[in-house]
Amino acid sequence: MTASSPGTALETPVSAAPGVKLHALLVEDNALDAALVLRALFKDGFDVTADVVEDEVAFIQALRARPPEVVLADYNLPNWKGMDALKTLRSEGLDIPMILVSGTLGDVTAVECIKQGATDYVLKDGLARLPEVVRRALREKNERGLRHQMEEDLARKVDELARSNSDLEQFAYVASHDLQEPLRMVTAYTQLLGERYRGRLDESADKYIGYASEGAQRMQILIQDLLAFSRIGRNSATSMSVDCNAVMAEVLLGLAPAILESGATVTLGELPAVWADRTQIAQLFQNLIANAIKFRGDRRPLIAMQAEKADQHSLFSVSDNGIGIAPEYAQNIFVVFQRLHARTEYPGNGIGLAICKKIVERYGGRIWVESQAGSGSTFKFTLPSPGPDGKQEARP
């Protein structure tokens, strides 16, 4: 091979068995060195073609004319620096591995170059290493590409999911909001019918009006529940540092009649502050404590709430000695309108835990239950901690 002028294309001798195709861009002012580099690659099975340049203008031209799989750059050139090729690659938005091929390169300089983004370096008197270094660089680039592709796919899916969730939320909100008005008319007029015509038609008519009015009232409650559920995702909530001890004190005050009536004992550990909307946290605590009282079976309820504070989030638990939940229902109970009992046995609509889940997940947390039928339940959930300056830390 002969010395090449900037932009010269070099072809390796024809190989008997065609190897891995590789197009390289050499930044090199010495034609003999360029030929040695290509020979080293060829000898190790690369079917290599190359452009050889020695300054920035020719480098950019070659990049644009035929993007290489790898750049092999001499560290010291009369008119340019090998490391400048890296800057050009970046400014062209190209992710092409760049390997320094140099006569001498001290360890400190080599480490500095790699820190700045060079893939590796090979000394000219150790060119036997070059093929392996090139192979590794190509492999890593390929892996980077795949990872990037996977990240993009994931980001797109997350985006689609977020969009479809928000569509669904919007639908639930609009449906439940708009259904209220016609339903109010149905409820009002069936009630009126009942009041005005009870005992004036036959017995069956009284019964039918009763069913219709009961059904309309139940539907009103379901729609209100659905509306409350879909409101959680909407933007009215304001996150701040919430003192959970103060929230629990208020929740217990509100539940005082149920606590008195059931003879429940509620034990509270020291609760940490969380970064969330205060009203939603109150709703979460209230739903869990109210359930612990409601699903008590025939024992006097013993309820305990505690929390462990970790750096970025706290783990809360609410345990009771109630009827418990069979493990196969541990997931279902968090789904909207899913209940394990008839309303005649335990009142309710099955929205409470779905609301709890939505609140906890809104703050990046997780909620689950640990329980066995008949032996009490422990609901656990995580919520983000406020940072030391009273702001939110990273999510759990």
Neighbouring residues of 39: CB distance < 8 A, sequence distance ≥ 6: 1, 12
- The Cα 275–Cα 242 span in angstroms is 6
Candidates 213, 320, 381, 385: give the one binding ligand ADP (CB under 6 A). Answer: 320
Establish if 323 lies at the interface with ligand ADP (CB under 6 A). yes
Closest residue to ligand ADP: CB criterion: 348
Alpha helices by DSSP H, listed for 306-349, are none
Binding-site residue total for ligand ADP (CB under 6 A)?
Answer: 21
The token pair that represents 135 in the structure block: 């192979």
Pick from 3, 65, 57, 62: nearest CA to 28: 3
3-state helix, strand, coil split of the chain in percent (to 5) is 50, 20, 30
Which residue of 41, 62, 73, 325 would you call a contact of ligand ADP, by CB under 6 A?
325
Within residues 355-384, the interface with ligand ADP by CB under 6 A covers 377
Q: Rounded CA gap, 259 and 289, in Å?
A: 10
Is residue 301 close enough to count as binding ligand ADP by CB under 6 A? Answer: no
292 in contact with ligand ADP (CB under 6 A)? yes
Q: Tell which one of 341, 372, 394, 395 touches ligand ADP (CB under 6 A).
A: 341
Q: Which is nearer to ligand ADP, 212 or 219 (CB)?
A: 219
| Least spacing, CB of residue 366 vs ligand ADP, in Å | 17
From the CB of 330, what's the least distance to ligand ADP, in Å? 10
Task: Report in angstroms how near the CB of residue 324 gets to ligand ADP at its nearest.
Answer: 6
Contact with ligand ADP (CB under 6 A): which of 68, 131, 301, 322? 322
Beta-strand pair 302-309/367-371: unpaired
Q: Which of 262, 349, 368, 380 binds ligand ADP (CB under 6 A)?
A: 349
Write down the least CB distance from residue 271 to ligand ADP, Å.
19
Instruction: Please say which residue, 192 or 373, places its beta carbon nearer to ligand ADP.
Output: 373
Beta-strand relationship, 70-73 and 120-123: unpaired
264 lies in the site for ligand ADP, by CB under 6 A: no
d(CA 366, CA 148): 28
381: region left, alpha or beta (phi > 0 left; psi from -120 to 50 alpha): beta
Kindly report the length of the chain.
396
Q: Does 291 bind ligand ADP (CB under 6 A)?
A: yes
Is residue 62 at the binding interface for ligand ADP, with CB under 6 A as the rule? no
Alpha helices in the chain (DSSP H): 31-43, 56-65, 82-91, 107-116, 130-197, 203-232, 244-254, 256-262, 278-294, 352-362
What count of Cα atoms within 13 Å lies in the side-chain half-sphere of residue 308?
A: 4
Site membership for ligand ADP, residue 295 (CB under 6 A) = yes
Cβ proximity to ligand ADP, 31 vs 340, nearer residue? 340
Binding site for ligand ADP (CB under 6 A): 287, 291-292, 295, 320, 322-325, 333, 339-341, 348-354, 377
